[in-house]
Every structure is written in structure tokens, then in C-alpha cells.
Amino acid sequence: MFSTRTGHRFFPQAEPDACGSFHPNGLAIIISTLVVCWWALIEAALDFVLIDSDTALATSIATRLIVVVSGCAVVLESRIARTVFCFLCAMSVLALASAVALQFNEPLLRPAVCLVDSATKALFLGCAFISSTKSHARHWRNDILAFAPDLVSPRVRSADKTFRQTSFKGD
């Protein structure tokens, strides 16, 4: 079993979503996901320096681990991982956007870490949005072609001066 999209062996294939449409992850999604995961690992290492409380450190490491695991699921094209990862990134960006302004009173390292974190997650959200709009547009065009009217054979006047539908078999 060789996946042509990811180039890895024995990785799960992307499956259709609830609507039955197929949305494989593009290269931009995979790269931006890996950037977010690497930055989460860098932040986990920085948390050992920046956080003093044991419970806050454990909470921070656990949230970084959740982001990394869900990001790995996106790279491996798990069924709903992309949706979950988009939700986590969006909530993180919304939470950090209000907190960045408050952190400029502290040393420069904390606001810089928050800004880079928000930028990487916003990059992923942008790539996911562009990818989903392209795949929905492609799916929409396929639906139009799928419901196109079938070719109708011409109506021909018969010997008794009535019209009948001919078939393509040569009636």
C-alpha cells in the first residue's frame, strides 16, 4: 500500500467526508502543519524557562502535546483531523490576539513567542481556507457536470404522422 499523495508507505488514505466529497491535503497544508508542530515543540522547550509554576508548566506542555498530535494526524490525513486542527489553531489565534497587547510590558521574549505562534497558526488557517475553497469549487464543478442533462435522441416523424423517440441503437 503506497500513498501517492504523501509518498509514504502504510499511511492511511484520505477518506470522503460526511458529504461524500474527497479533500486530500495539499503540500501547503502539510508544510504549514509541520511548521505549527515544530513551533509548538520549540514553545514547549521555552516553557521550561519561562514558566515557574509546576501546574502551569504541566498544562502548557499538555496543550502543546495536543497540538502536535493533532498536527501529526493532519499530516497523516486522518478523517477529521484537519477540522479539529483548524479549530484548535483558530481558538489559539483568537485567545493570543487579545493577550499579545498585555504582554508587551514584560521582556521581549514572551510577546515575540506569541506573535510567532499566532503567525504560524494564521498561516495554517490561510492555507486550509484556500485549499478548502479550491476543493469545494472543484467539487461544485463536478456536481454540475454530474447533473448535466443526458443527451436525448431526436424525435422523428413516423409513417403514421406521429412523433416517436428514437434510440441510438438504430430503431
Least confident among 16-25, 32-41, 144-153: 144-153
**Per residue in 50-64, pLDDT tens?**
888 899 999 999 999
Domain boundaries, the chain: 27-165
Write down the pTM of the prediction. 0.63
Write the pLDDT tens digit of every residue in 57-97.
999 999 999 999 999 999 998 889 999 999 999 999 998 87
With contact defined as beta carbons under 8 Å apart, do 157 and 163 qualify?
Answer: yes
